[in-house]
Structure 1
Amino acid sequence: MRRFSNVSKVGKTGNIAIASVTVVALCSGAWLLRSGAETHAPPQPSAAQAGTDRPMEESPAAPALPHSPPDRIRIPSIHVDAPLMGLGLTPQGSLDVPPAAKKNLAGWYEAGTTPGEQGTAIVAGHVDNAEGPAVFYDLGALKKGSNIEVERRDSSTAVFTVDAVEVHDAHDFPDEKVYGAAHRPELRVITCGGGYSKSTGYQGNVVVFAHLTGSRDG
């Protein structure tokens, strides 16, 4: 299993965001290797779900929420309802990933922005493990306008609206677009995807771009 690499933290207008990630892969695809990639490959986003030339930050956003760690992520349209663990850095300086054996567990970069705060919050999870589909297997099927809910430790729920769902090759990954600091509350949800190689696993990543559009208490 490969991990995030070349992670650095950049401060900008009070934000902390991951800024230079050249390899973003969360699973080697052992299940696809055993069961057949042609029949079991996870869904990939269509070109229609990609962002447009219009800057995403022009979409209306709800006011930023105060700092509060997240505990759970829900994406109703693709039946995701999963706990979140904090992700730190490995001794090599790369972003760690959730344990592959816990297929319904996702993680968030806990040294960065908390979901709902001003800035770019990062959530990542596996697409599969050796046994089969994992928490974000269907992430590539998510559509623009879908909701993502993040339960926070202060008993609030941050509600995000999806702006785009894209797939990017690991060798041409748009680091600044995905991880760069934002002037409003934004969320990125990431898993592995794109082409698949029996020798190296997934060749890229599915990335969901979303922004805060509401919140509720309790």
Structure 2
Amino acid sequence: MSQKGKGWLLAVAALAGVWLIHHGAGTQLVPPQPASAQAFAKGPVPQPGSPLAAPLKPSPPVRIRIPSIRVDAPMMRLGLDPDGSLGVPPAGDHNIVGWYGDGTPPGSEGSALVAGHVDDARGPSVFYALGTLRKGNEVEVVRQDGHTAVFSLDAIEVYENDDFPDERVYGASPYASLRLITCGGGFSKSTGYRGNVVAYAHLTGVR
């Protein structure tokens, strides 16, 4: 892993999904959670038989589409706050997704980190239905260079806060991979969401 990649891993993994857990808001309706059949069977690898497209040169993402759950949202760059935690998309905007701008841009070689709110006190947000995704579902990321990176879902898993697999989620990848993250794992009125839902995908095509 490059020094830049190591720095990104350390900065983001240290969060262990904390900001996502604590920004899930106070709704009592628990979002859909992933079915066990949608988890990896033998570790975080592409689905057998699924094409593996060549990575693109780095270019910032501008929009994300997930047709199966009707997501069509603009993307914004996320950085680190003064306390070292990852910044978040604006809480008042239900339809915006962030990507970690000091890491891998979606479509380039490595693991691109994408995060979105699941809900707030007013209702569902952009990644509310993330837990309903299934293996093979497509994710499209429109990039600033005019290319649309098309990803295929390999698995979707849910993790408790105390058992968040940093290396599995944030570790380096030899191909262009994508990690979609939101809150999940049950909800407590006193502490918020107890964990995270993470969807794993890899680049299968470019338009």
TM-score of the aligned structures, taking structure 1 as reference length: 0.86
Asked whether the 8 Å contact 1:143–1:162 carries over to 2, the reply is yes
Asked whether the 8 Å contact 1:22–1:175 carries over to 2, the reply is no
Q: How does 1:88-167 map to 2 (within 5 A)?
A: 88-167=79-158
Unaligned runs of at least 5 residues, structure 1: 1-9
- Distance in 2 between residues matched to 1:120 and 1:80, nearest whole Å: 21
- Local SS of the residue matching 1:83: strand
How far the C-alpha of 1:145 sits from its partner, in A, is 0.4
Q: What CA RMSD, in Å, does the superposition of the two structures yield over aligned residues?
A: 1.7
Tell me which of 44, 47, 53 is aligned to 2:36: 47
Tell me which of 23, 33, 43 is aligned to 2:16: 23
Q: Aligned AA for 1:47? A: S
- Distance in 2 between residues matched to 1:54 and 1:178, nearest whole Å: 11
Asked whether the 8 Å contact 1:22–1:173 carries over to 2, the reply is no
- Distance in 1 between residues matched to 2:87 and 2:193, nearest whole Å: 18
- Aligned pair 1:200/2:195, yes or no? no
- Closer, same or farther in 2 for the Cα pair 1:55/1:103, shift >3 Å? closer
How far the C-alpha of 1:85 sits from its partner, in A, is 0.4
Asked whether the 8 Å contact 1:15–1:120 carries over to 2, the reply is no
- Distance in 1 between residues matched to 2:60 and 2:45, nearest whole Å: 25
- Closer, same or farther in 2 for the Cα pair 1:172/1:22, shift >3 Å? farther
Q: Aligned AA for 2:30? A: A
Asked whether the 8 Å contact 1:28–1:200 carries over to 2, the reply is no
Identity %, equivalent residues = 56
Unaligned runs of at least 5 residues, structure 2: none
- Distance in 2 between residues matched to 1:23 and 1:46, nearest whole Å: 22
- Local SS of the residue matching 2:2: strand
How far the C-alpha of 1:18 sits from its partner, in A, is 2.6
How far the C-alpha of 1:41 sits from its partner, in A, is 1.5
TM-score of the aligned structures, taking structure 2 as reference length: 0.91
- Distance in 1 between residues matched to 2:24 and 2:87, nearest whole Å: 18
State how many pairs are aligned: 200
- Distance in 2 between residues matched to 1:196 and 1:146, nearest whole Å: 26
Q: Aligned AA for 1:23? A: A
How far the C-alpha of 1:31 sits from its partner, in A, is 4.2
